Amino acid sequence: MKIFHTGDWHIGKLVNGFYMTEDQRYILSQLCDEIEKENPDVLLIAGDVYDRSIPPVEAIELLNETLKKIIIDLKTPVILIAGNHDSNERIEFGSSLYEACNFYVSGELKSEIKKINLKDKDGIVNFYLIPYADPYYVRKLYNEESIKTHDDALKKILENIDLNKDERNVAIFHGYVAKDSEKIIESDSEKRLSIGGTEVIKSSHFKDFNYTALGHIHSPQRVDGENIRYSGSLMKYSFSEMNNKVGITKIELNGDGDVTVTRIPFKLMRDYREIRGELSELISKEFIQTQKIDDYIKVTLTDKGEVIEPMQKLREVYPNVMELRNESRLKELNMEEESIAQLKEKSILELTCDFFSSIREDEITDEELALVKSVLEEVEREDK
């Protein structure tokens, strides 16, 4: 069976004030072209199809156009799960109706995991749809108070799946999965999943599946062998992703359940790049001739003195400048930069605890910590 594994489309994303919709349309057109060329048996979308729980109208229209092209025109089944950026309830809407046209959706996690059976010349392949759900939701769903972490939650979910090992089995899951202490390549555009505690899920939980299609991490990578993988996002969404190779993952699952993995690269409409130098050099005719001026650009100026209206002058040449930094000021503010970087690494719970400690000059108690964590979890659920 030929499977196209994708995830983290983030349709409707806004990056530094720039909507990505047209860039996404350009990428999704390439996806449709590859589907027409390769004729896969199924397309997987492993969560975060939208960038926010209530997407803009343009994002909904783009997804509608794309799915219509893939499912109706190209007659390719699509399996979609909700990610942490999506609204589980909104993604779930219409899911029973969609199945009539081979569009299989799981937005809200149910106690009985949704299973889709697809056939090829070698028999049945079972697809298990596991949408994003936080530990609180899973704890209530299964009435299991011992569930505290994302790892606990997934372990409980998988306990309720009765795998037929005589058939081939594929899991589609959205979350932070890693092998033991191995580091996952992350970016700063990935939303933290955990309000305190750990968000890491052991890859060993998926050992009985022939393939596990993961979403959430934007850099394409394998986690534990070839058969547990992140497809990565279809596009770059921050300058921390400049080195990412965008595209999709093609999986060929043979009759014995073994996988062959191939990356299909895509071309960006506008890439993310960084340029560095004095302002006069960066806007000089000679330099401009070497540049793709409509890329999304991060500028670091090396001028020693004060520069007058640098952003205005840069955008007259590079209309999509997203970030502007002055190297001399960065050196002066180096300690502040380090402090900001450390703050970005902290969870909302950690920041809240630091705030309480700073104003009271005393550590937060265990009882207060539990209360704050409960409130933050409730706020996060209401935001969706």
The CA distances from residue 88 to 141, 162, 267, 358, in Å, are: 14, 24, 31, 37
Q: What is the reported pLDDT for 226? A: 92
pLDDT of 181 over the 80 cut: no
- pLDDT tens digits for 261-319? 999 999 999 999 999 999 999 999 999 999 999 999 999 999 988 889 999 999 999 99
Share of the chain above pLDDT 90, in %: 77
pLDDT bin (cut points 50, 70, 90) of residue 195 is very low
Asked if residue 158 lies in contact with residue 205, where contact means CB atoms within 8 angstroms, the answer is: yes
pLDDT of 124 over the 60 cut: yes
Q: What is the reported pLDDT for 240? A: 92
pLDDT of 187 over the 80 cut: no
- pLDDT tens digits for 315-351? 999 999 999 998 876 665 555 555 665 666 667 777 7
Looking at per-residue confidence, does 20 or 341 come out higher? 20
Cα 320 to Cα 343: distance, rounded to the nearest angstrom = 28
pLDDT bin (cut points 50, 70, 90) of residue 250 is very high
| Closest by Cα among 341, 246, 282 to 34 | 246
Q: What is the reported pLDDT for 356? A: 74
Question: Position of tokens 């089995």?
Answer: 169
CATH tag for 2-265 (out of 3.40.50.300, 3.30.420.40, 3.90.1580.10, 3.60.21.10): 3.60.21.10
pLDDT of 92 over the 50 cut: yes
pLDDT bin (cut points 50, 70, 90) of residue 196 is very low
In the chain, domain spans: 2-265, 272-332, 346-383
Q: What is the reported pLDDT for 375? A: 80
Going 120 to 108 to 137 to 353, the CA torsion angle's sign is positive
Please state the pTM of the whole predicted model: 0.85
Q: What is the reported pLDDT for 214? A: 98
Asked if residue 326 lies in contact with residue 301, where contact means CB atoms within 8 angstroms, the answer is: yes
| Helix (H), strand (E) at residue 212 | strand 211-215
Dihedral of the alpha carbons of 96, 99, 81, 214, in degrees to the nearest 10: 150
pLDDT of 138 over the 90 cut: yes
The CA distances from residue 86 to 9, 35, 52, in Å, are: 11, 25, 6
| 327 three-class SS | helix
Q: 5 CB contacts (<8 Å, ≥6 apart)?
A: 44, 46, 213, 229, 231, 248, 249, 250, 251
Q: Looking at residues 143-165, what average pLDDT do you find?
A: 94
pLDDT bin (cut points 50, 70, 90) of residue 376 is confident
Q: What is the reported pLDDT for 77? A: 98
CA-angle at 65, arms to 60 and 66, nearest 5°:
100
The CA distances from residue 262 to 134, 349, 367, in Å, are: 32, 40, 51
Q: What is the reported pLDDT for 337? A: 53
The DSSP call for residue 106 is E
Q: DSSP alpha helices (H): ranges in 99-213?
A: 135-141, 150-159
What mean pLDDT, rounded, does the chain reach? Answer: 90
Q: What is the reported pLDDT for 197? A: 43
Q: What is the reported pLDDT for 10? A: 97
